[in-house]
Amino acid sequence: MQLIDSHCHLDDDRFDGRRDDVIARAAAAGVNAMVVPATTANRWDKVKQVCAGRDSFYPAYGLHPWFVEQHQPIHLRELDEWLEREKPVALGECGLDFYQSRRDEPWQKQLFIEQLQLAKNHALPVIVHARKAMDDVISLLRKNASHGGVVHSFAGSRQQAQQLFDLGFKLGIAATVGFERAQKLRAVVAAMPASALLLESDAPDQPGTCHRCEANEPAYIVEHLQTMAELRQCSVAELAASLNRNAKSLFNI
């Protein structure tokens, strides 16, 4: 069984010195392809270098809302040039994060809207981060997105999931689906069409129930794939095939 990790921060400094081992463990688990999204302008080159020379490792470039204070207007112009030159599979990671406060809301929204416009100009899907901001994200996607994408580590309601699917967006499912307390997410995974879902690690963040207090790795997506199959009452192989098709179609890989 071959799997695609649709969201892995393989460039993260926590993988330095052991990246090859992480990749080897992923391959041994059947994870042979990864989409690697960048978060800030100064990470774009590292993402490029991590993916270079590795078959089925696909970069994406964007400006993540966690680092809103680092982003400058010039970075949007540089991102436009970077997308044109490097031809990534997506723009991202971008989006909105109001978990701490809405203090930076105007600048976050401006960055998000302008990145959505860049994605439209370059005919790219977007990899979207949404935390305590799902309704705002859906509203802006409805007005500004044109080539689909994925809301990664989806944690919204069934209604929000359907709205995103109707807009041509996938739902990235991370290891949180394995936690019994994640009843809302588990219900979404059980109810949505298989064509709405993607499998992701978000490594090195968001380790699952078997790896608490560890750095997450892409090899571990096999574990929550099993949970997803159980929730959907289907075989792991059947679900894996659907999720792979979804990733290949969305990212044109």
CA 100 – CA 156 distance, rounded (Å): 18
The conformational region for residue 72 under phi > 0 = left, psi -120 to 50 = alpha, else beta, is beta
CA 235 – CA 212 distance, rounded (Å): 26
Q: How far is CA 153 from CA 120, 176, 215, 218, in A?
A: 23, 8, 17, 14
> Which of the four pLDDT bands, split at 50, 70 and 90, describes residue 253?
very high
CA 232 – CA 52 distance, rounded (Å): 36
Domain boundaries, the chain: 3-251
Q: What pLDDT does 108 receive?
A: 96
Domain 3-251 fold:
TIM Barrel (3.20.20)
Q: What is the DSSP letter of 2?
A: -
> Which of the four pLDDT bands, split at 50, 70 and 90, describes residue 120?
very high
Averaged pLDDT for residues 176-201: 97
Q: Coil, strand, or helix at residue 131?
A: strand
Q: What is the pLDDT of residues 124-141, one digit of tens each?
A: 999 999 999 999 999 999
Q: What is the pLDDT of residues 32-48, one digit of tens each?
A: 999 999 999 999 999 99
Stated pTM of the model: 0.96
Q: Where are the alpha helices (DSSP H) in the chain?
A: 19-28, 44-51, 73-86, 105-121, 134-144, 158-166, 183-191, 221-232, 236-251
Q: What is the pLDDT of residues 58-94, one digit of tens each?
A: 999 999 999 999 999 999 999 999 999 999 999 999 9
Q: Is the pLDDT of residue 212 over 80?
A: no
CA 172 – CA 127 distance, rounded (Å): 9
Angle at 130 between CA 129 and CA 136, to 5 degrees: 130
Q: Is the pLDDT of residue 210 over 80?
A: no
Beta-ladder partners of 169? 149
Q: What is the DSSP letter of 89?
A: S
Q: What is the DSSP letter of 103?
A: T
Q: What pLDDT does 100 receive?
A: 83
Q: What pLDDT does 213 receive?
A: 74
Edge-to-edge order in the sheet of strand 31-37? 3-5, 31-37, 57-61, 90-97, 126-131, 149-151, 169-173, 197-199
Averaged pLDDT for residues 12-19: 96
Tokens of 60: 């994406």
Q: What is the pLDDT of residues 146-174, one digit of tens each?
A: 999 999 999 999 999 999 999 999 999 99
Q: How far is CA 4 from CA 28, 35, 63, 116, 198, in A?
A: 13, 8, 23, 24, 9
